[in-house]
Amino acid sequence: MKTQLSSINVIKDEVGEIKTSQEFIARKFDELNAKLSTITVKNTRRIRQLESIVEELEEEIDILTERQYDQERRSRLDNLEFHNIPYSRDEDCEKLIMKVAARINVPLQSSDISNCHRMSKENNKKPSPIIVKFVRRKTRHQILKNRRQLRSANFHEDFQHFTRSTRIFIIENLNDNNKDLFFKARDLKKECGYKYLWTHNGKVLIKKNEMTTTIPINNEDDLSLIK
């Protein structure tokens, strides 16, 4: 009996130790869990703060990008692109432009042109456009106004290297962003049955017909308005 009682006491002591150990582990687990919860709350709060900062920075970048595009657009408001003018040896771009302008009844002097150059001569299949920067914006507007006369103009009399089928056309000098928007809008114009697509002061505009409102295309999101 004494031996059995002694064994029972030993077992009780071991059970007590196990309970104490379990309580210690449970207490430590609760402490650790509380610390983890606190850390999680802090991290969650910090993540939200960082997300808010990122959103603000993205908005600021968008605003700065729009301003940059607008400044670049404005810097090109004195420019025009003359397309499909054939290459010639030792060509004088300024004289070429003055003769083309004369054909559409816009007399130009050398003093009317601030800068004039061929964009590139790398394209052998199609002449690169000539970019012209005018001294006065009024001159630029007059050329744009009269450019329809180019449809019936025959430049073979002025330039022997021009064929009788040479057709020159003049467009605004768009920045890369608006040029990309114009080409995308042109594809949508065909798909969605729009009648008019044009540029004005470096901006892309589209209109379904005479009765509808003109839609300005300032960014990619505006393309979704073409339906």
| Residues 57-106 pLDDT 10s | 999 988 888 888 888 999 999 999 999 888 878 889 999 999 899 989 99
- Indicate if 104 and 145 belong to the same structural domain: yes
Give the strand pairing for 196-200 and 215-217.
unpaired
pLDDT at 31: 76
Can you read off the two tokens belonging to residue 4? Answer: 């059995």
Q: How far apart are CA 77 and CA 134, in angstroms?
A: 9
- Indicate if 100 and 184 belong to the same structural domain: no
pLDDT at 123: 61
- Indicate if 45 and 83 belong to the same structural domain: no
Residues 87 and 127: beta-carbon distance below 8 Å: yes
- Indicate if 83 and 167 belong to the same structural domain: yes
- Indicate if 89 and 169 belong to the same structural domain: yes
Query: Of 42, 75, 108, at which residue does a domain stop?
Result: 75
- Indicate if 70 and 89 belong to the same structural domain: no
- Indicate if 55 and 96 belong to the same structural domain: no
- Which domain does 208 fall in, by range? 174-227
Can you read off the two tokens belonging to residue 36? Answer: 């983890």
Query: Based on the structure, what is the number of domains in the chain?
Result: 3
The predicted model scores a pTM of 0.71
pLDDT at 13: 60
Q: How far apart are CA 102 and CA 157, in angstroms?
A: 13
Query: Of 45, 75, 105, at which residue does a domain stop?
Result: 75
Query: Of 147, 173, 199, at which residue does a domain stop?
Result: 173
- The one-digit pLDDT tens for each residue of the chain (227 residues) are 555 556 656 566 666 666 777 777 777 777 788 788 888 888 888 888 998 999 999 999 888 888 888 889 999 999 999 998 888 788 899 999 998 999 899 999 999 999 999 987 666 677 899 999 999 999 999 999 999 998 887 777 777 666 767 788 999 999 999 999 999 999 999 999 999 999 999 999 999 998 899 999 998 999 999 98
Helix (H, G, I), strand (E, B) or coil at 77: coil
Neighbours of 160 (CB within 10 A): 9
